[in-house]
Amino acid sequence: MPVTTTLSADQKEKTIAIDGRFDFTAHQDFIKAYKSDPKGEKAYVVDLRNADYMDSSAMGMLLQLREYAAQHRVALKNANDTVMEVLRIANFGKLFQVQ
């Protein structure tokens, strides 16, 4: 499962895009995507536009990212209906900006 990243022009926000299944098979790539930055340095956007599945391990990875981002925001964007339902059931709208 490919995980790709892009930085904003001001280098203060990193977008992590997920393609395919967002599950434990993505763990290594997902962690590398944000741990290449010093802890608490950036805001993050997780682009779920191309994620067709999300399980509990993916939710755990998002919680780890939230902790790593410290005071910076973590936004979850572009989730399809299936992934959005998982986020809704888990009440992730209270922990993340869900768009």
Q: pLDDT-based confidence at 2, cuts 50/70/90?
A: confident
Q: Compute the distance between CA of residue 26 and CA of residue 58 in angstroms, rounded to an integer.
A: 8
Q: Which CATH number fits domain 3-98: 3.90.230.10, 3.30.750.24, 3.40.50.2000, 3.40.50.11720?
A: 3.30.750.24
Tens of pLDDT, residues 4-33: 999 999 999 999 999 999 999 999 999 999
Tens of pLDDT, residues 41-83: 999 999 999 999 999 999 999 999 999 999 899 999 999 999 9
| Res 1 pLDDT > 90 | no
Q: Compute the distance between CA of residue 19 and CA of residue 40 in angstroms, rounded to an integer.
A: 25
Q: Compute the distance between CA of residue 24 and CA of residue 1 in angstroms, rounded to an integer.
A: 10
| pTM, 2 dp | 0.93
Those residues with Cβ within 8 angstroms of residue 95's Cβ, 6 or more apart along the chain or in another chain: 63, 66
pLDDT at residue 81, rounded to an integer: 94
First to last CA, the chain: 23
